[in-house]
Amino acid sequence: MSLKARIADAVEAAYQEGFRHFLCGMALGCDLYFCECVLRLRQMHPDVTVEAAVPCPSQADAWPPDQRRRYERLVAACDFETLVSACYTPACMQRRDRYMVDHAALLIAAFDGSPGGTRYTVEYAMRRGLEIVDLPIVLEPAR
């Protein structure tokens, strides 16, 4: 099963467990897939709300134009936008990650075990005692 499908299944399962408000860090990659899945869920269940937790206004400035447009469209579609830092700082991404964990009861993470923002967020969520749904990233063998 593809990662996108597993994210969609995890979002649906969270809804079935009673979760209605979803936070998304809006990072390039899995965060944007997650946001798209929750927005699709909201189409079926109008009681769902989506919050874009944006680390700084320039988050997507260096992204490829197509991904920047996708990001802007998704942020605009969210019910809420929380700007965690008024400008870029070396700590604004971790501040965004802490904001999401501090306002959550469940973390859905696609984590490959490597150092970085996802690892920081998962470890912080573990210290905070959050329930974690881990969606391991499975690399397909080369053909």
| Pairing between β-strand 49-54 and β-strand 106-109 as defined by DSSP bridges | unpaired
Mean pLDDT of 77-105: 97
Q: What is the dihedral of CA 94, 47, 39, 57, to 10 degrees?
A: -40
Contacts for 139 with CB less than 8 Å, ≥ 6 apart: none
Of residues 29 and 76, which shows the higher confidence score?
A: 76
Amino acid 143: pLDDT:
60
CB 109 within 8 A of CB 135: yes
Radius of gyration over every alpha carbon of the chain, rounded to an integer in angstroms: 15
Confidence grade of residue 136 (pLDDT, cut at 50, 70, 90): confident
Contact 32, 135 (CB under 8 A): no
What's the chain's average pLDDT? 94
pTM for the complete prediction? 0.92
Confidence band, pLDDT 50/70/90 cuts, at residue 131: very high
